[in-house]
Chains A and B, each alone.
Chain A
Amino acid sequence: MKTHRNAELGLLAFAMILVAIYAATVEANQFNTIHPTFWIPAALLLTLFIGLHFVVRFTAPYADPVLLPAVALINGLGVSFLRRLDIARAIANKKPTPGWFEGTSGHQLEWTLAALILAAVLLLVVRDHKVVSRYAYTLGLVGIVLVMVPAVLPSSLSEVNGAKLWIKLGAFSIQPGEFAKLALVSFFAYYLVRKREVLSLASRRFLGIDFPRGRDLGPVVTVWLLSLLVLVFEKDLGTALLYFGLFVVTLYVATERASWLIIGLVLFFGGVYVAYLLGAAVGGPFQNFYDRASIWLDPFAQANYNKPIGGSYQLVQGLLALGTGGLFGSGPGAGSPGLVPAVRTDFIFAGMGEEIGLFGLSALLVCYLLIVERGLRAALNVRDSFGKLVAGGLAFTLGLQVFVILGGITGLIPLTGQTTPFLSAGGSSLMANWLLVAMLLRISNAARGPANSGGSSDRPGGGPKKQPTQLHGAPTEVFKP
């Protein structure tokens, strides 16, 4: 069985050459000359990624070879784009060029290092993804606590730009929801593996589709209510959509029932529409969502554009940036992304779009698509149902998050402040998403490795012996098929 590890190494080198070319073009456009040191960030990143590559080589030798390079390319271009913004700001303020570890891009580089270390630790510690199912309830509790903490904290400690998604401790702020995703996926997967028989067998046929019985709707309604509470108290549609979509899709994967998707979509859009109507009628906790929705419906309206807080200014600037970029963009470093608000975080895709154009953006989107596809492929091929649900759920979460933020900045759906995975400035997002990739690598290793050698058997005798976790010991009721 070929491991394709050398292909991974080659692709990593290729990705970092692209990052170096991007950096050189930025310098050519910004300074009108290329400094002989332009390649240093790309080389630093290459060193970091090769470090992780070797961890993969020794702990997950059969892992998917394209996950790591595709993620590395996006991460590297993110760092380079942030550096391009730092350079532009330094030039505008007549300051010297920032050092490699200064400014937003320097921090992003440090966060990348931290995220890669976390990913490596996960790969080293979790030698078999089934071990995670033993801590499923703990992880579920941790996930719910992480989701709820920003909602109960006072606004001064948790609110940034109207969305209560943060925990702010002095100069330091983290977005716990990013980590909650991972914990919740593991918990949902475990829960559904135990309950899938009940949820997939009992049904009533209606309009040619099998619908579940009313009393089996309990869990999906619970999660729906929780995500609506998130929408109301954390004032963030994207996060609510992310958690709910995650649960519904895991449910669908577990039961192979399209009816769950229909129920999920109806519940979500129903809930959102009611929240919109309530926002129009009574305001209060629904006000923020109502504002976002009205901006989305008509971003170019004078009333929306001129609103001092929560107006459509940033959305319009983002759309104009994308429009200015056109098909091929103005070239890396030649645009003016400084005009787009929040271009380092939420609007990074709009800022990059101005410079690399539709062609560049769609290449990045295809990279995301390939990452998600490889995750789903791992889910298809892995041999245990817990691994299937975890890999499917994680891959889908990543895809949904990209959809939510890109849909937001392009005006397809109401804008909500999600980070663009691996691209936006910010440590929480970067670390959580690298952990997600590490988990996908671990599961794809089990999926692609030869039978009987997935997981910990590459070190016989070493490490804790895997206990056969009783995932299917759950009592099942008997129904007529």
Chain B
Amino acid sequence: MPEFVLTVARFGFLILLWIFVFTVVGVIRRDLFAGVRSKNIVASPRGVGGAVTQGRPAKVKRGKAARQLVVTAGQLAGTRITLGDLPITIGRAEDSTLVITDDFASARHARIVPRDGQWFVEDLGSTNGTYLDRGKVSGPTPVPLGVPIRIGRTSLELRP
């Protein structure tokens, strides 16, 4: 084997090794920013109420539908839930969609339900109450994007 081939193989392997590492990082990067780029994908609730026309709900602020529920404060801060077309239950019970271990939360505290392309928050008879921004939630209340839902020390927001 000529020396030249060995040298090429030696450095080529190292270069390819690093290309692999950067490809992996690239996949992670695409993954992280997936939500930012795909603004055209509207994961609006389907088949609820039958009033959704052409997949784009009418009431949604700035023409964007909520795609994610993000926990902005509390022990679960940073958690994201991709919204589907099913209700999200929040509470300390382990079978809730979002299990929060907040001392001021009840076992079945609140739920967030999609209806006619809008998400509604509903208190499930919790001890300490659910707040939408500053106001206490008494019945099903529509949740605008980016407005915090407060449960004990935990805050949640709908994000596009």
Contact = CB atoms under 8 A, between A and B. Distances in A.
Interface of A: 1-2, 4, 7, 11, 14-15, 17-18, 21-22, 24-25, 28-29, 32-34, 65-66, 69-70, 73, 130, 193, 196-197, 201, 256, 328-332, 334, 356-357, 359-360, 363-364, 366-367, 370, 373-374, 380-386, 449-453, 466, 468-472, 476
Given A384-B94, A452-B84, A472-B92, A7 B27 contact: yes
Interface stretch (B46-54, B96-104, B125-133): B96-104
Contacts of B92: 472
B9 A331 contact: yes
Interface string B6-17: 110111111011
Interface in B1-35: 1, 5-7, 9-14, 16-18, 20-21, 23-25, 27-28, 31, 34
Contacts of B12: 21
B14 A28 contact: no
A451 B86 contact: yes
Contact of A4 (B1, B31, B81): B31
A22 B27 CA distance: 24
Interface stretch (B58-66, B72-80, B141-149): B72-80
Contacts of A14: 20, 23
B81 A451 contact: yes
B97 A452 contact: yes
A28 B3 CA distance: 10
Contacts of B11: 328
A360 B14 contact: yes
Contacts of B95: 466, 468
Contacts of A370: 21, 24-25, 28
Contacts of B17: 18, 356, 359-360, 363-364
Contacts of B34: 2
Contacts of A472: 92-94, 99, 101, 107
25 contacts: A22-B13, A24-B9, A65-B27, A65-B31, A73-B20, A256-B75, A328-B14, A329-B10, A332-B13, A334-B10, A363-B21, A364-B17, A367-B21, A370-B24, A370-B25, A373-B28, A381-B79, A450-B82, A451-B69, A452-B88, A470-B94, A472-B92, A472-B93, A472-B101, A472-B107
B124 to A, nearest CB: 16
A196 B100 CA distance: 12
A2 B12 CA distance: 33
A32 B20 CA distance: 27
Contacts of A381: 78-80
A21 B9 contact: yes
B128 to A, nearest CB: 14
Contacts of B6: 25, 28-29, 331, 334
Given A32-B1, A66-B28, A367-B21, A383 B13 contact: no
Contacts of B25: 370
A18 B103 contact: no
Contact of A25 (B10, B78, B88): B10
A4 B12 CA distance: 28
Contacts of A385: 75, 99, 101
Contacts of B7: 331
Nearest to A364: B17
B74 to A, nearest CB: 10
Contacts of A380: 78-79
A356 B1 contact: no
A383 B82 contact: no
A378 to B, nearest CB: 11
9 nearest CB pairs, A to B:
A331-B10, A468-B95, A25-B9, A363-B17, A451-B81, A452-B86, A384-B99, A450-B82, A450-B84
Q: Which of B9, B20, B24, B101 has its CB near the most chain A CB atoms (within 10 A)?
A: B24
B27 A25 contact: no
A196 B101 CA distance: 9
A385 B18 CA distance: 35
Nearest to B107: A472
A256 to B, nearest CB: 7
Nearest to A24: B9
Contacts of A357: 14
B83 interface: yes
Contacts of A449: 82
A440 to B, nearest CB: 15
A364 B69 CA distance: 36
Contacts of A130: 94
A469 B99 CA distance: 12
Given A380-B78, A385-B99, A452-B84, A11 B13 contact: no
A24 B1 CA distance: 12
A65 B24 CA distance: 9
B84 A18 contact: no
Nearest to B86: A452
Contacts of A201: 103
A28 B27 contact: no
A15 B99 contact: no
B114 to A, nearest CB: 11
A356 B23 contact: no
Contact of A383 (B9, B14, B24, B81): B81
A17 B23 CA distance: 14
A80 to B, nearest CB: 11
A28 B84 contact: no
A450 B5 CA distance: 50
